[in-house]
Amino acid sequence: MSHAFIAHGADQLDSLLKLHEALRAAGVPAQYSDGERRADIDAAMIDAASLMIVLVSYDSMRSSDVRSQIIRAKRNGMTIIPVRADRARLSGFIKEFAKDIVHSVEALPPLVDAAQKVYRQVSPVVAVMNLKGGIGKTTIASQLAATYQASVQNRVLLIDFDPQYNLTQLFFPGQQADEAIAADRSVISLFEKSRAHQADLTSPADQWATLSTTPFTPAPRAKIAHSLLGDTPTTGRLDIVFGQFEISKYAFSTDTSGLEAVRASFLRSIEYYRSQYDLIVLDTNPNATFLTRCALQATDRVLAPMHTDIYSLRGVRLLNRVINDQTTQDRRPELSVLFNAVERREQSDFEADTRNGVFNEQVGFDLSSKLMSAAIPKSRHFRIKGKEDDAPIKRLLAHHGRGGGLRQVRDSMLTASVELATLLGKQSSAS
C-alpha cells in the first residue's frame, strides 16, 4: 500500500495527530510508529511507503529510532519532507536535507499539497479520453493496461467510466455483471453511499431523481473490484470496477449542490484507491459531461487515442480545449496522444504530417509534442470473440491469443506501455 510514513519523536503527539488528520482529509494515507511496535514492523511500513514526513523537534533530533527510519528511507530512495514542530536546533544529520524545510505544522496546506504531489506521482491516474467516438478508447484502455501490468508487474485498476459500460461487457457475461451492479459492486459506489458500504441501503442506482450526499468511507477493494487475471500466476494484479448505465443520472440532475457533493466523494474515492494500486486507468465516455469533468479533475494524464484522419483531429482539438476549461492550472493533467488502428506497412502522410507539426496551428496547440512515438496497428486480433464462459484473461492479448501478426501487435502494445511508464515516471521491467 502506498502511503506517507511520519517519523516523529515522543514529544510530538499533538503535532502528529494534527498532521495525520490533515493528510487523511486530503486522501493521503499515513502511518506512523506508535512507539510500541517492533522495529521490523516499522521498517516494513517504511518499505511500503511512497514518502516520509519527518517531524523535526527537540526529541526527534536525539532519537535513534528516527535516525534509523530516515536512513532506511534514504536507502530506499524515498522523498523525505522535513517539517518543523518546534524551534529545536538541527542535528548535523538532519542538516543534510534541512535546506528543504519550508513547512511547519502551523501551516499545513503547503505541506499537504507537497505530500499529495509525491503520492500522485507514485500512484498515477490515467484517463483514456477523446471526445470523438469510435476511435478505440475501450480497446486501448483494456489492452494497454493489461500489457502495462504484465511488463511492469504491479497493481493496475481499470474503471469503466462510460455509462454504456462496454469495457465491463468485454470481460464479463451479462448476468454476472448485472448481479454485481445490483449489489452496487460497481462505479456508482465511487460517487454515492451504497450497498457496497452498507448492505441494507437503497441503491443509488434505484434513485434516479435524487442524489445521496451522505459522506462515506470508500468500500474495501474486495467489495468493489473484480479480478481479470483470476488464478493466473503473476506478480501484482489487474482489476476492474464495473460500469453501469445508471451513472447517466448525473448528466440529468439539476441539483448543483448535490452534484458538487458526489463529485467530491468521487475524488476522495479515487485518492483512497490510489493507495491500493500503482496505476488507475479510466475508460471514459466520448461526451463532455459531468463525468468528463470528474475524470479530468481526478486524473494526472489524459491518454487520447486518435485515428489518422481529420475527424480525429477535431476530437483532439476539442479535448484540449475542455481540459483547459475544466481544470485549474495546479491540477491540469498532462495530455498524451496515441495513434491507433494505423496501417503499419509504412507511415501514412497524415501521421508524418502530424508528427512534423503541420496540424499544430489547426488544432490550436503543439500537438506534435504530445504524440507518443508508439503507434498501435490496425489488427483483427483486437476483434476479440470468445465464449461467454471464457475467463476474462482470454480477452487480453498480453496473456492470450494466437495467429499471424500477433507478435507485431504485442510488440506495439509493449512499446506503448513502456513509453507510458516513462511518461508516468515508472520503471518498466521490459525497458
In a domain, 430, yes or no: no
The boundaries of the domain holding residue 102 are 4-119
In a domain, 367, yes or no: yes
Q: How many domains does the chain have?
A: 2
* One domain for residues 80 and 46: yes
* One domain for residues 39 and 154: no
Cell of 290: 459531468
Q: What does the pLDDT read at residue 431?
A: 43
In a domain, 429, yes or no: no
In a domain, 184, yes or no: yes
| CA separation for the pair 160, 240 (Å, rounded) | 7
Last residue of one domain, picked from the residues 119, 134, 150:
119
Q: What does the pLDDT read at residue 429?
A: 46
In a domain, 428, yes or no: no
* One domain for residues 187 and 114: no
Q: Does the predicted model carry a pTM greater than 0.85?
A: yes
Last residue of one domain, picked from the residues 87, 119, 151:
119
* One domain for residues 20 and 141: no
Q: What does the pLDDT read at residue 61?
A: 86
In a domain, 371, yes or no: yes
* One domain for residues 141 and 28: no
Last residue of one domain, picked from the residues 84, 119, 154:
119
Q: What does the pLDDT read at residue 430?
A: 47
* One domain for residues 73 and 130: no
* One domain for residues 14 and 136: no
* One domain for residues 262 and 373: yes
Question: What digits encode the pLDDT tens for the residues 283-332?
Answer: 999 887 899 999 999 999 999 999 999 888 999 999 999 999 999 988 89
Cell of 335: 495530455
CATH of the domain at 320: 3.40.50.300
| CA separation for the pair 298, 359 (Å, rounded) | 29
- Which distant-in-sequence residues (6+ apart) come within 8 Å of 44 by Cβ? none
Q: What does the pLDDT read at residue 97?
A: 65
In a domain, 306, yes or no: yes
* One domain for residues 99 and 133: no
Residue type, 157: L
Place of cell 494497454: 144
| CA separation for the pair 366, 340 (Å, rounded) | 19
Query: Residue 338 is inside which H or E element, if any?
Result: strand 334-342
Q: Residue 186 gets which letter from DSSP? A: B
CATH of the domain at 10: 3.40.50.10140
* One domain for residues 73 and 174: no
* One domain for residues 51 and 190: no
| CA separation for the pair 60, 62 (Å, rounded) | 5
Residue 247: C-alpha distances to residues 9, 39, 190, 289 (Å): 47, 47, 10, 11
Which ranges of the chain have pLDDT less than 50?
427-431
* One domain for residues 96 and 163: no
